[in-house]
Amino acid sequence: MEEQRERITNRLLARMKKKMGDEDERIAREIAEKEEEQAKEEQAKEEKLQADLKSIAEHRLNVIKMKEEKEKEERLEGQKLLIGLMEADRIYQELEKDKIHRNYCANLKLQEAHVAQIAEKIARGENEKQEDAEYV
């Protein structure tokens, strides 16, 4: 009876050890699975963070590039406008110079015409005096 009791006790102990071993294995497996899942989540978070940072950096570079291109275009437009204004000013100055020259020439011709009229009037006056003197 004692032997039977010992066998039963040994069997019970063996079952309990097995059950505890199985329980320990299950707990260890669950812990390992949780740790693996947590590691995957951390890795996914890290990858997302790196992707977000890369996206932000690319966006910044694109914004800087677009800003530089816009400034370059504005600078070129400003230069074109300045060149156009300088050309318009040059043409205006030439036209003004021509206008002044034409006015000068017209005034000179007018002055010459007045001088000729005065000379003609004086000559007529002298001719009349001479004719009057000869007539008398």
**pTM for the full predicted model:** 0.48
Residue 131 has pLDDT above 70, yes or no: yes
Q: What is the pLDDT of residue 133?
A: 76
Distance, CA of 75 to chain centre: 10
DSSP category for residue 114: H
Band of residue 128 on the pLDDT scale cut at 50, 70, 90: confident
Report pLDDT digits (tens) over 52-68: 999 999 999 999 999 99
Integer Cα distance of 13 and 20 in angstroms? 10
Q: Of 128 and 103, which is predicted with more confidence?
A: 103
Band of residue 13 on the pLDDT scale cut at 50, 70, 90: confident
Residue 136 has pLDDT above 70, yes or no: no
